Chain A
Amino acid sequence: MITALAAAAVLAAHPLGNFSINHYDGLTIHHDRIEHLAIVDLAEIPTLQQPPTGPADTHARRACAELRDAVRAQAGGRLLTWRVTDASFAYRPGAAGLRTSRLTCHLTAPLRVDRPLALTFANGYRGDTVGWREITAKGHGVRLRDSDVPAKSVSGELRDYPADLLSSPLDVRQARLTAEPGDSGSGAPADVPGVDAVTRYAGLLADRLNTLIGADRLTVPLGLLALLLSLALGAVHAAMPGHGKTVMAAYLAGRQRRLLDAVTVAATVTATHTAGVLALGMLVTAASAIAGEVVLSWLGVASGLLIAVIGAGLLRSAFRSRTRHRHGHGHGHGQGHGHGRGSGGVVALAVAGGLVPSPSALVVLLGAMALGRTAFGVLTVVCYGLGMAVTLLITALALRRLSDLTLGGRMQRLRPYSAAMTATLVLLVGTGVTLRAVAALV
């Protein structure tokens, strides 16, 4: 009875039966090299089929050299050249009085992670046999992004295979990921929802900011530098593509030809955005079950709808004023047609613009919170919003100056239609934002 149980336990060790050859490749990416831990676990039959020739360490060295030649890895399109640093081979007791064997190879290849670096990895060593195949990748002093393999082995590096009824043996034969400078430190930033192109562009800046916030000792100059950086990040963020809505708000403000309006817009965007980031940050930390991605999408829908509604309203008022003009009531309507809804509409637009929190600000906030520097994190987010406001103000002022110049000339003739055109544009952008957000939801 006891022997039967023991046999069953040993047999369960190999999920793919006792003629499987199981592979594990653990990659660790450092800023100057990549380390590869390759383990080959041979079940009873292959151990018997290919007995080592000569002493164990000679055999291990030869097998690891073979394995090295079968590894195909590229960094930034360049083939990596591997060196075996350590090799070992050992038997372990298997089922029915037979043995299994385990080959362990440590390989290393030089690498420089001074910019985002695309890595591909494949191990073709004895690729035609049945077996468990697992790859993991983690960074050490380097951040990994878009990795299609996990950081941790589910089989404990081929020591303890999951054997429940609802899991299939892993068959991962290649890995693809991007390594970039930065710290892998706390896992929180990596899980932040909605990390998209914006973060990618401003990635370097944000990395620097993150390292600053994560510094061991936060001195005053260091803190000031961090705040300055977040200001710059916010400014860049507001100018990013995909922020047509905020630019639209600025443009409207320019159309009103009042500096006060532009300031109102900027302040509103900053306030809304800061509040949004703080609220979402709190939501994500408080309840990890809430998928930030979905919240962001719904906020996108709301913001798009808001803009569309405002656009429709503007269009309606433009119609009204045009009709009145036709009937001879108008005199010099071109100047002040929008004033009826004026500030209210602009503020609403600004709210819509700031409603969707920017992922990079969220990253900064969560990073700071993870380090127990919440107040400082909040301060950075406020600075971030201020940065956005600055960009908006500059845009508004520039557009105002521009419209002064152009409208002075031949464009003057278009003035009667400009209200309708602006309104249509706002409506269009609103519809587009809504549709995109909805498309991302379904």
Chain B
Amino acid sequence: MSSVRRLLPLLGCMLLGCVLLTLYAPGGLLRRDEPPPAPADWSPYDLAGSIEAAQTHLRRQPDDAAVWASLGSMYLEQARRTTDTAYYGKAQGAFERSLRQPTGDGQPYIDAVIGMGALANARHDFAGAVRWAEQARKEAPFRWALYGVLTDAYLELGQYEQAETALRRMLDGRPDLASFTRAARLEHLRGRPGPAREVLRRACAIPGDAAEYAFCQWQLGELSWNNGDPRTALTAYTQALAADPEHVASRASKARAEAARGHTDQALRDYATAVARSPSFVVEYGELLEHLGDGDGARRQYAVFTAQQKLLAANGAVDGLAMGMFEANHGDADAAVRHLRAEWKRRRSVEVADALGWALHQAERHAEAATYAARADALGGRNALFAYHRGEIEHALGHTAAARTHLSRALSINPHFSPAGATRARALLAEMP
């Protein structure tokens, strides 16, 4: 007995040694798997990492329809964030793989159906998006993402009643960032900036990752900008870029607001950064350059736009609205009318109505232009550009009083709506009796 007692310290030492070895030995428990330093602020969701995880999983289990569908959605999100349309093809491939896998009840995997709808929206095939979303609704009416697809599609098609119904379903089921930002857009269209801002504020308060926050702040900025407050807008864009310096839309919008506040050099720098990442803003940039007297620089940007449209056309996707608007302002008015009439057959949104009206005006068909402009302005809420276009058309028709009303309304909504347009509106108002 006593020998055991005498050996107790020895056994104690041994136990302690074992514990210490396990913990501290090189390759021991404590030295392994130290957590990486925590990211500064944002939720740790990492899109690229999630994509990689899904890819690894699918290499091992290539028949997992659910993961194929979610991979497709992540590619779509990647396209949105990088404004890189090359991801659309990958997203489509992933959704199609998912749709080909038979599920238990013989139905296609529902997230892939909704994903195809979202993809159709991204490619401006809004009627196709409605078809996919309706197919999803038949099978799974409580999958809220489908109402997002439906809302977006109806908004672009100009079917605002249906858009509101779909959005209401979505808001009832899931009040989140996706539904709030859409609700804000609808409120803005209805000419109610106050509720729109309130909804967006709530959306921004929902914790998300940096890119989501940036998107939300950018929307807030756009709202302030459209209502003639470039200072508040600038703050919002700066916040968006602080969260996600890669958010190109905020970069371009910031440039636009800088220009309005007279910080031309900063504006040009920001525009140059934005168009290097995404060619979506070359026309805006070119218009600023042209306004500043740099005709060559502007033409170079316009050439990029034309090339981009060519590439899109070679890819089978035509953006008639952007093309028509560009032709109306910087090219051939008749071509613009052609593009926009074709677009008007496809969809009847206020943006298309306004653009078609403007193109008809540029092609000297003022009377016809006036009907479209009135239609856009009536439904389009408080939109400075729509009001300015309408004022120009009324002026061309010789309706001085109406022209004066619309032009001063445009300037009161947003005195900086376009560098050239605002200057012209002021000049017209000054020369009118």
Write the residues of chain A forming the contact surface with B, with a CB cutoff of 8 angstroms: 7, 11, 14-20, 44-46, 48-49, 95-98, 126, 128-130, 165-168, 171, 319, 322-323, 326, 420-421, 424, 427-428, 431-432, 435-436, 439-440
Q: Which of B25-33, B323-331, B336-344, B393-401 forms contacts with chain A?
A: B25-33
Of A15, A19, A428, which is within 8 A of B279 by CB?
A19
- Residue contact A432 to B18, C-beta cutoff 8 Å: yes
Q: Which of B3, B18, B51, B279 contacts A168 (CB 8 A)?
A: B51
Taking a contact as CB atoms under 8 Å apart, the answer to whether B10 and A420 are in contact is: yes
The 8 closest A-B pairs by CB, nearest first: A17-B86, A96-B314, A432-B21, A96-B310, A166-B55, A17-B84, A165-B93, A435-B22
Select B14's contact among A44, A167, A168, A428, beta carbons within 8 Å: A428
Tell me if B122 counts as interface (CB < 8 A to partner A). no
Q: B48 near A165 (CB under 8 angstroms)? A: no
- In the bound complex, do residue B27 and residue A436 qualify as a contact, i.e. CB atoms below 8 Å apart? yes
Residue of B28, B59, B94, B276 with most partner-chain A CB within 10 A: B276
Bound-state CA distance A326–B5 (Å) is 14
Give the number of residues in B that approach A within 8 Å (Cβ atoms).
47
For residue B292, CB closer than 8 A to chain A, the reply is no
If A98-B310, A129-B276 touch, does A424 touch B14 (CB 8 Å cutoff)?
A: yes
Q: Is A428 touching B18 in the complex (CB atoms < 8 A)?
A: yes
Judged by a CB distance under 8 angstroms, whether B242 is at the interface is no
Mark B310-350 against chain A: 1 for CB-CB distance below 8 A, else 0.
11011100000000000000000000000000000000000
Q: Tell whether A95 pairs with B27 under 8 Å between CB atoms, given A48-B304, A168-B51, A326-B3.
A: no
In the complex where A45-B307, A48-B303 touch, is A128 in contact with B277 (Cβ < 8 A)?
Answer: yes
Query: Which residues B9-43 have CB closer than 8 A to chain A?
Result: 10, 13-14, 17-18, 21-22, 25-29, 32
Chain A residues with CB below 8 A from B71, complex form: 165
Residue on A nearest B315 in the bound complex, by CB: A11
A168-B86 CB under 8 A given contacts A428-B17, A439-B28: no
Residues of B contacting A96 with CB < 8 Å? 307, 310-311, 313-314
Inter-chain CA distance A11–B307, complex, in Å, is: 14
Asked if residues B27 and A130 are in contact (CB atoms below 8 Å), the reply is: no
On whether the beta carbons of B277 and A129 are closer than 8 Å, the reply is yes
With A and B bound together, what is the CA distance between A70 and B200 in angstroms? 41
A427 / chain B contacts, CB cutoff of 8 Å: 14
What are 13 A-to-B residue pairs whose CB atoms are below 8 Å? A11-B311, A15-B86, A16-B84, A16-B86, A20-B84, A20-B86, A45-B279, A45-B311, A98-B307, A126-B276, A130-B277, A165-B93, A319-B3
Known contacts A98-B311, A167-B55; is-contact A14 B86 (Cβ 8 Å)? yes
Cβ of B139 within 8 Å of any chain A Cβ, yes or no, is no
Report if B85 contacts A (CB, 8 A).
yes
Whether A7 pairs with B314 at a CB distance below 8 angstroms is: yes
B420 contacts the other chain (CB 8 A): no
CB atoms of B310 and A97 under 8 A apart: yes
B94, A49: Cβ atoms under 8 Å? no
Inter-chain CA distance A20–B279, complex, in Å, is 10
Give the contacting residue for B18; candidates A46, A49, A431; CB below 8 A: A431
State in angstroms the CA–CA spacing of A319 and B48 once bound together. 61
Residue of B nearest to A428 (CB): B17
A48 and B84 contacting across the interface, CB-CB below 8 Å: no
Cα A269 to Cα B273 with chains together (Å): 67
Residues of A near B90 (CB, < 8 A) are: 165
Contacts of A49 on B, CB cut-off 8 Å? Answer: 275-276, 279, 300, 304
Identify the closest chain A residue to B91 (Cβ). A165
Partner of B21, one of A11, A14, A323, A431: A431
Q: A7-B314, A44-B307, A168-B51 are in contact. Are A323 and B58 (CB under 8 A)?
A: no
Not counting A17-B85, A45-B279, A168-B48, a sample of 8 additional A-B residue pairs whose C-beta atoms are within 8 angstroms of each other reads A20-B86, A45-B307, A49-B276, A130-B277, A168-B55, A421-B10, A432-B18, A435-B21
Point out the residues of chain A lying under 8 angstroms from B266, CB to CB. none
Assess whether B18 is in contact with A19, with CB atoms less than 8 Å apart.
no
A265 to chain B, nearest CB (A): 24
Residues on B with C-beta less than 8 A from A20 are 84, 86
**Please, what's the 1-or-0 string for B150-189, where 1 marks a CB less than 8 Å from any CB in chain A?**
0000000000000000000000000000000000000000
Nearest opposing residue in chain B for A8, CB measure: B315
Q: Please, which residues of chain A bring their CB within 8 A of the CB of B307?
A: 44-45, 48, 96, 98
Give Cα distance in the complex from A105 to B361, angstroms: 52
Chain A residues whose CB sits within 8 angstroms of the CB of B27 once the complex forms:
436, 439-440
In B39-90, the 8 Å CB interface with A consists of 48, 51-52, 55, 58-59, 71, 82, 84-87, 90
Residues of B close to A435: CB separation below 8 A: 18, 21-22, 25, 28
Measured between beta carbons, the chain B residues less than 8 angstroms from A322 are 3
Q: Complex Cα distance A427/B94, Å?
A: 56
Would you give the shortest CB distance from A196 to chain B, in whole angstroms?
10
Asked if B82 and A95 sit within 8 Å, CB to CB, the answer is no
Chain A residues contacting B85 (CB-CB under 8 Å) are 17
Bound: A117/B194 CA distance, A: 63
- How far, in Å, is B64 (CB) from chain A's closest CB? 12
A41 to chain B, nearest CB (A): 14
A53 to B275, CA, bound (A): 20
- Which residues on the A side are within 8 Å of B86 (C-beta)? 14-18, 20
CB of A86 to closest CB in B, whole Å: 27
Q: Does B140 contact A (CB under 8 A)?
A: no
Q: Which residues of B contact A440 (CB under 8 A)?
A: 27
Q: State A95–B93 Cα separation when bound (angstroms).
A: 21
Measured between C-beta atoms, what is the minimum distance from B148 to chain A in Å?
24
Contacting residues, chain A, for B275 (C-beta < 8 A):
49
B57 CB to closest chain A CB (Å) equals 10
Give the nearest-CB partner of B282 in chain A.
A49
Cα distance A101–B48 in the bound complex, in angstroms: 28
Q: CA–CA, A410 to B59, complex, Å?
A: 69
* Complex interface: chain B residues within 8 A of A128 (CB): 273, 276-277
Inter-chain contact B277/A45, CB cutoff 8 Å: no
Whether A95 and B314, one on each chain, are in contact in the complex, defined by CB atoms closer than 8 angstroms, is yes
Instruction: Please encode chain B, from 268 to 288, with 1 for each CB lying within 8 Å of some chain A CB and 0 for all others.
Output: 000001011111000000000
